Amino acid sequence: MVEIKEKTAFINPYVVQMDKFADSLVHLSKTFLTLEDYKGTFSKEEVEEMFLKVTDKVCENCEKREWCLGENRVHTYQMLYEILCTVEDFGAELSVELKRSLQKRCIMAPRFLRETLETFEHAKKIMMWSNKIVENREGYAQQLNRFAEMIQHTTRELDAGIFEDEHLEKRLKTQLRKGGARMLSSVFYMTAQGKYEIHLTVKSMKGHVIATKELASVVGSCTGRTMTPQMGERPLVGEEYCTVACVESARYHTLQGVAKIGKGCGKISGDTFLMTDLPGGKKGIALSDGMGSGEEAFKESKMVVEMLEELLEAGFPVTMAIQLMNTALVIAREEVRFSTIDASLFDLYSGTCEFVKAGASTTFIKRKDSVEAITSTSLPVGVIRELELEPVERKLESGDYVIMVTDGVMDALPVGEQETLMKKFIQDGDIVNPKELAHHILEQVLAWTEEVPVDDMTVLVIGMWKL
Q: Using one digit for the tens of pLDDT, what is the confidence trace for 122-136? A: 888 888 888 777 777
Same domain? 292 vs 235:
no
* Mean predicted confidence (pLDDT) in 352-373: 94
Residue 460 · residue 438 · CB < 8 Å: yes
Q: What is the pLDDT of residues 195-252, one digit of tens each?
A: 899 999 999 988 888 999 999 999 999 999 999 998 889 999 999 999 999 999 889 9
Q: Is residue 359 part of a domain?
A: yes
Same domain? 332 vs 396:
yes
Which residues span the domain enclosing 49? 11-161
Q: Is residue 114 part of a domain?
A: yes
Sequence-separated contacts (24+) of 306-313 with Cβ below 8 Å: 306/274, 308/274, 308/341, 308/343, 309/274, 309/276, 309/284, 312/276, 312/278, 312/284, 312/345, 313/276, 313/278, 313/279
Share of the chain above pLDDT 90, in %: 36
Reported pTM: 0.75
Q: Is residue 223 part of a domain?
A: yes
* Residue 173 pLDDT level (bands cut at 50, 70, 90): very high
HSE-up of residue 340 (Cα within 13 Å, Cβ side): 25
Q: For residue 8, is pLDDT > 50?
A: no
CA 37 to chain centre: 26
Same domain? 241 vs 347:
no
Q: What is the pLDDT of residues 18-43, one digit of tens each?
A: 778 778 878 777 876 777 777 777 78
Q: Which has the closest alpha carbon to 336: 272, 384, 389, 407?
A: 384
* Residue 91 pLDDT level (bands cut at 50, 70, 90): low
CATH number at residue 218: 3.30.980
Final residue in a domain of this structure, among 140, 161, 182: 161
pLDDT of residue 334: 64
Same domain? 413 vs 450:
yes
Same domain? 309 vs 391:
yes
* Mean predicted confidence (pLDDT) in 66-88: 80
Residue predicted with more confidence, 81 or 278: 278
Q: Which has the closest alpha carbon to 210: 232, 188, 178?
A: 178
Q: Which has the closest alpha carbon to 434: 403, 406, 456, 410?
A: 403
* Residue 6 pLDDT level (bands cut at 50, 70, 90): very low
Same domain? 104 vs 144:
yes
CATH number at residue 448: 3.60.40.10
